[in-house]
Structure 1
Amino acid sequence: MNSQEMALRPVGWLHGRLGTVVLWALLILTESAGQLFTKVAGDQLGQMDFNWQWLAAVAVNPGVLAAIACYIGAFFVWMLILRRSSLSLAFPLSSLVFVVVLLGSWLGLGEHISFLHWVGVVVIIGGIALLAEGEEN
């Protein structure tokens, strides 16, 4: 790398390995929180018919608003991740959200998680490990 390329290269913690780890943690947490907030909001809204009253209730529900904020945050973090990663690796890595949502629904919402769900978690993590191993630096 010549001096001109080095001068154009971004510096700071966000552009290094630590920044990448922080961005991935933010993405997984915001997307997972968005899913969990949506579930809680749906439970709070109950079995209402799809009409103007339901839309008004959705528009002011704190869980829905928190979920929207999480998804907006996740979108911008995803854009930053894609600037530095290949989509062929980044998209499969984003499946860690499935694992965190499963854990959050089990620990935070008291949902029952079957043995096959846990097997699925192992398969997802194993698949990500295989993809990461085959990725060129």
Structure 2
Amino acid sequence: MISRKADWLHERLGTVVLWVLLIVLESAGQIATKVGGDQLGQMDFNLQWLLAVAGNVGVWLAIACYFGAFFVWMLILRRSHLSLAFPLSSLVFVGVLLGSWLWLGEHISLLHWVGVAVIMGGIVLLAGGEEP
């Protein structure tokens, strides 16, 4: 019986780690895209712009984050039902909001914080209905 509980805990912990990794990678990818875009400035879409994009560290960091997030997402979907996993992916909105506030110094309005609370409440409701 102990082995079964340990297996359940190990699987749950692994899933939580994957979710944290997904949220971090997706949020970092969005923030890196924003930083890369800001570094490029107001350029016309042409060959010069494409070359500037290709040499931008923020863009490459974003690509790496999205690449990693894709594989983490695949692992999450192996463990979860899509009907639960996809709504839970809305936690990325919370990660991006917090990241843009902490690292980019963006102002977050009270309405945005209320939105975070609504998302978190929805996550609690979804997780509460999950079958073990």
TM-score, normalised on structure 2? 0.91
TM superposition shift of 1:17:
1.7
Aligned length: 125
2:121 is equivalent to residue 98 of structure 1: no
Consecutive aligned runs of 4 or more in structure 1 exceeding 4 Å deviation: none
2:41 is equivalent to residue 46 of structure 1: yes
1:108-127 superposed matches below 5 A: 108-127=103-122
Work out the CA distance in 1 between the residues paired with 2:121 and 2:20.
Answer: 19
Work out the CA distance in 1 between the residues paired with 2:26 and 2:120.
Answer: 17
Gaps of 5+ in 1: 1-11
Gaps of 5+ in 2: 1-6
Q: 1:61-86: CA deviations, max 9, x gaps?
A: 00000000000000000000000100
Q: 1:77-100: CA deviations, max 9, x gaps?
A: 000000010001111111111001
Query: SS state of the match for residue 36, structure 2?
Result: helix
What percentage of residue pairs aligned between the two structures are identical? 81
Work out the CA distance in 2 between the residues paired with 1:78 and 1:65.
Answer: 20
Of residues 108-117 and 17-26 in structure 1, the stretch that sits farther from structure 2 once superposed is 17-26
Work out the CA distance in 2 between the residues paired with 1:31 and 1:73.
Answer: 9
Work out the CA distance in 1 between the residues paired with 2:48 and 2:124.
Answer: 47
1:9 aligns with none
